[in-house]
Amino acid sequence: MAAAALCMAACSTKQAEENVIGKPNVPVVDGRFTPEVMWSLGVMSEYAVSPDGSQVLYTLRYTDMEQNKNNAELYVMPVAGGEAQRLTTTASTEFNPAWMDNDNILFCRDTNIVAMSLKDKSESVVAACSRGFEGFKLAPDGKSLVYISTIPVKRPDHIEKLYAGLDKTTGRINEDLMYRHWDNWVDEIPHIYYVPFEGGKAQMDKAVDILGDEPYESPMRPWGGTEQYNYSPDSKTIAYTCRKKTGYDYAISTNSDIYLYDIATGETKNISEGMMGYDQNPVFSHDGKMIAWESMERDGYEADKQRLIVMDLASGTKVDLTEEFDYGVSNIVWTNDDKELLAVIMFRGTLEVFAFDRETKALRQLTEGQHDINSFQLNGNTLVASQVSMQYPATLYTYNLNENQAEGKKLSTFNDETLNQVRMGKVEPYWIKTVDGKDMLTWLIYPYDYDSTKTYPALLFCEGGPQSIVSQFWSTRWNFEVMSGAGYFVIAPNRRGVPGFGMEWEEEISGDYGGLCMQDYMAATDWAAANIKQIDKERIGACGASFGGYSIYWLAGHNHDVKGYNEGRRFKAFLAHNGMFNFEQQYLETEEMWFENWEIGGPYWERDKNAKIKKGFSNSPHLFVGEWNTPICVIHSEFDFRIVASQGMAAYNAAQLRRIPSRYLYFPDETHWVLKPQNSLLWHRNFIDWFDEWLKKN
């Protein structure tokens, strides 16, 4: 028996070691960037700079295709540059890295918060929670933690009694709206907890839910995390984001607020009352006298400009530092002297860091380049940023606070070995004229094997959102270099409706989905076909997801009688992922009603009374199926609660009934995104195969 036990223990240890996911060995063949090579890259997501500014701690995730999963480990490296040191090797994912001091760190693993000494890598569990932690922050004085966990949603008593004795039933009973979010049923909601941290341990028996018995989300689903709350510098107050609404009221409103929770008294104060849009992500000044946050002005408009609001806590006076600036902010950071506030700005096709003078509102651009800075941290005069481009995934860069329009210094090198073997397709920006004479930034990505004496097929990329910028983003789904590696030009326009080009440009899309935004797509395609001689104008396809999927369905119904193209067809093949097909169907199937009410105008049963609603629903793609004449591939996922799977099935069935060559790729276990590694590879292989069939073989 003892021998058997030892054998079982040894087998268990061996199995755990085998399940540890490391860097996969995927060869690069002939310099081509393939989906398989893309998935072999390390993904850096979270990072934290040490208190003395000398080191940066980060997570790095690798994927094992055979196991069909990935996990992240912790690494640390000098901010000045140098070798990275791996800190963990486990089959579990480590996340939420944080510093206790310059020699000790905290992080989450499974249902624990773990402390590690960097001197000897010894570990100890400092907090455990059966429901797990979604994230945490350590107080500035190190004497408490604020963490995110969840509470179950309680059924009303008159519903609960119906479940008596039915512990195996899967039925759901709802009597209100907002019963699901994008990809999750609302069975639990996040709350923020305060807990004393003494002697290297969180006193979990003294944890306090700062929302008490309030049935509200904080942070807000589905995107909110630890950025939605912060400690005051004296560790006595917690500022947090919350939309204190449920059900129908929640479904039609974006009105969230900033609350101050006094740790000593338990009292809560709303400091953004009367401000009607999204108010979120509060950050205290270093002297504790001011607080800044992101604020949208209009209720129900989730893509409104994110203003930079600064409030004097003593007087209650609020100032909008972006009042004369036509762009929104994110990732707000105070400088050490509290004289400037830094923020990420979507600016004319890239994401850059700007600095706002708190007193004069003057601004300066700190960074500039063909890149996106997704986030950054400031320590003294050094910015450590997570930076991407269309040619590389998230990489750590450093910048100096005193520089202007700098390109930055590359810090991390974990993907260099693979990327140095790849011949990435060249990326060029072009400003082209739209049908109404405006200038539109369009990215052109060249095929990886580009030869100016040859011609190539091309793909028009249609962005989702609809208010999402076509910037220098990196994605494991819509990856332009994978398309380039498959031998395609990619045409990627920043059509009407995207942020980063002023509010007038962004707002020309709402209520007019079939208007100038669609003309912009056509203009970009016609420009590329006429001006880039290496593009074969008779081998152009179009693809997109979400609003981009809608765009494909709409373009499919308007792909006829186009001058200058064979058979009058601008596009010879389409691919739509998780797109809106039938607006009446969509209005009653989606969960966030504020979006439909703002973008389409309101419920379709009121269209005869309201011209905006009538116009909005007139752009529904299903109304133009009679004009479809082009092969189309439809992709949709069962757990997409934003645009449900019946939309894709209806579009595919319509193509089949029209006897149009068509293909349907359905994922029963994916959401609005395709996140499982093997599903992603199938998605990419299908994508390339579909367009190769119609743009290369015919």
Question: For the chain, how big is the Rg over CA atoms in Å?
Answer: 26
Give me the CATH code for the 423-671 domain, please: 3.40.50.1820
Cβ-based burial of 96 (10 A; exposed 0-12, middle 13-18, buried ≥19)? buried
Task: Give yes or no: 622 in active site.
Answer: no
From the candidates 546, 551, 662, 680, give the one annotated as an active-site residue.
546
8 Å CB contact between 424 and 33: yes
pLDDT attached to residue 697: 83
Q: How far is the first Cα of the chain from the last one, in angstroms, to the nearest whole number?
A: 68
8 Å CB contact between 664 and 651: no
d(CA 349, CA 351): 7
Q: Compute how many other C-beta atoms are within 10 angstroms of the C-beta atom of residue 6.
A: 10
For residue 231, give the nearest of 173, 192, 175 by alpha carbon.
Answer: 192
Q: Compute how many other C-beta atoms are within 10 angstroms of the C-beta atom of residue 263.
A: 19
Handedness of CA 544, 546, 550, 556 (dihedral sign): positive
Which residues fall within 8 angstroms of residue 441, CB to CB, at 6 or more apart? 348, 349, 429, 430, 431, 470, 493, 494, 501
pLDDT attached to residue 12: 41
From the candidates 257, 640, 680, 684, give the one annotated as an active-site residue.
640
Helices 547-556/516-531 angle, 10° precision:
70
Residue 609 DSSP class = G
Q: Which single residue is written with the structure tokens 């011949």?
A: 423
d(CA 171, CA 155): 13
Task: Give yes or no: 672 in active site.
Answer: yes
8 Å CB contact between 637 and 670: yes
From the candidates 181, 191, 622, 672, give the one annotated as an active-site residue.
672
pLDDT attached to residue 4: 44
For residue 243, give the nearest of 265, 266, 275 by alpha carbon.
Answer: 275
What are the residue boundaries of the structural domains of the chain, listed by start?
423-671
Alpha helices in 391-508 (DSSP H): 416-419, 480-485, 503-507
Using CA atoms, how far residue 381 sits from 174, 337, 366, 688, in Å, is 53, 11, 12, 46
Report the SS3 class of residue 172.
coil
Low-confidence ranges of the chain (pLDDT < 50): 1-16
d(CA 51, CA 143): 16
pLDDT attached to residue 3: 46
8 Å CB contact between 544 and 495: no
8 Å CB contact between 211 and 192: yes
Report the SS3 class of residue 259.
strand
For residue 251, give the nearest of 187, 186, 177 by alpha carbon.
Answer: 177
d(CA 409, CA 549): 37
Q: What are phi and psi of 190, to 5 degrees?
A: -80, 145
pLDDT attached to residue 17: 54
Q: What are phi and psi of 20, to 5 degrees?
A: -70, 125
Report the SS3 class of residue 435.
coil
pLDDT attached to residue 429: 98
Task: Give yes or no: 546 in active site.
Answer: yes
Angle ∠(371,372,378) on CA atoms, nearest 5: 115
Q: Which structure tokens are listed for 662? A: 């068509």
Residue 615 carries which side chain, given as an amino acid letter?
A: K
Which residues fall within 8 angstroms of residue 367, CB to CB, at 6 or more apart? 352, 353, 373, 385, 399, 405, 406, 407, 408
